[in-house]
Amino acid sequence: MAAIILQVVQLGPDELLSLWNSVELDLIQVLCSSFLIIIISTVYFMMKPRTIYLVEYALYKPPVTCRVPFSTFMEHSRLNNMNDPKSVEFQMRILERSGLGEETCLPPANHYIPPVPTMEASRAEAELVIFSSVDALLKKTGIKPKDIDILIVNCSMFSPTPSMSAMVVNKYKMRSNIRSFNLSGMGCSAGLISIDLARDLLQVHPNSHALVISTETITPSYYSGKQRSMLLPNCLFRMGGAAILLSNRRRDRYRAKYNLVHVVRTHKGADDKAFKCVYEEEDPEGIRGVSLSKDLMAIAGDALKSNITTIGPLVLPASEQLLFLFTLIGRKVFNPKWKPYIPDFKQAFEHFCIHAGGRAVIDELQKNLQLSAEHVEASRMTLHRFGNTSSSSLWYELSYIEAKGRMRKGDRVWQIAFGSGFKCNSAVWKCNRTIKTPVEGSPWLDCVHRYPVHIPEIVKL
């Protein structure tokens, strides 16, 4: 086209007139060609997936009255387990190596001695976390509850009747034709499952807003027994919640923070070991709790390999894919003992949000993905400041990156989460605009200047 235009520009007025007169235009052919082009363009734009925008999100920041410093946690542990000093000692060792800081928070019911995991207390925690997050989101975006078309709430351990999604509809007096969903029992990766569900719904419902709420209600999950595998969640899980506004409206692209690029889900539930590695059950004394298996890290590593095998071809540059392919062929054909090639995901992403499930989870992923300390900084600092907030931890990590002023237009973010079942889920986002600091309403606003902090291998209590 450039060559033709250049040639035409060089022609004189007489030559142009002669050229125009020599062209024979058949009206029928022109109309048919134009009609065909219009039809093909229409079909293409109708079948093209809608762009999903993350307009804004808001996080719950617990009040200082809910803080649980190490000394408080251990004192309560001793008073609650006076007849079992071994359980107290075990929890102390876990806390020393957990990577948690002194400012993590537990709900009011867990501050009682003994804790009171009643239905009323659980509802009170859920309402406090969810309503605070949604209120902050509505204030940030200026959107009205009546404008929300899709509502998805995920919370694993607390599943009341009426559902938590109904609780939100009732509180904000949402429309009667709202499409609401309530996900429970899906573990720490339920947040990305909710995003995937919202994406699918937004693909078939044009001009819509979706509100996704990710949280975990800690009150009913407190374990008061002696089984060590069930005492672990007491030491790691803390209060937290996130409210995320997604949209497929074209006019929202100018104010949206991110575009959703990919969601990849991996489920290893067909394997019995994987299915039972995070399992809610009663101990021999009939006390209910969540048991974490010793094989958890090995199973998580296997699920991660399956997940990155799927997501790799979608995000990695061609050079990395070819290196991986050649190594795979070499191991199959020449020498099975060749070390497998681990793709360099740092070429595909600028930021990594690894679920802050625990120190061991972050260490394992840092080693497997060959990431630097800076790449996992958001995960470690989130674990230190807020603890394991389950499905909402990824959003605290994203907020940390924003609060540090590191998010630029065009940056790509990889969120990775693990959940019971066993699942490994990933989401890829692309930043739509440079995020300026200070970020209004960020839970990091009053403390980000203190981070990153050094986290010792063992904090002696």
Task: Catalogue the active-site residues.
Answer: 188, 267, 351, 355, 384, 388
Determine what percent of the chain falls in helix, strand and coil, rounding each to the nearest 5.
50, 15, 35
- Please give the structure tokens belonging to residue 456: 């010792």
Q: 309-318: which pairs have CB atoms within 8 A and are 24 or more residues apart?
A: 310/264, 310/266, 311/262, 311/264, 311/426, 311/428, 312/343, 314/262, 314/264, 314/428, 315/261, 315/262, 315/345, 315/348, 315/349, 315/412, 315/414, 315/428, 316/343, 316/345, 316/347, 316/348, 317/347, 317/348
Cis previous bond, 114, omega within 30: yes
Residue 51 DSSP one-character state: P
Separation of alpha carbons 362 and 377, rounded Å: 10
* Beta carbons within 10 angstroms of residue 308's beta carbon: 22
- 82-to-69, 224, 228 alpha-carbon distances in Å: 20, 11, 16
Beta bridge partners of 265: 425
| Cβ–Cβ < 8 Å for 53, 199 | no
Report the amino acid identity of residue 387. Answer: G
DSSP string, 139-156: HHH---GGG--EEEEE-S
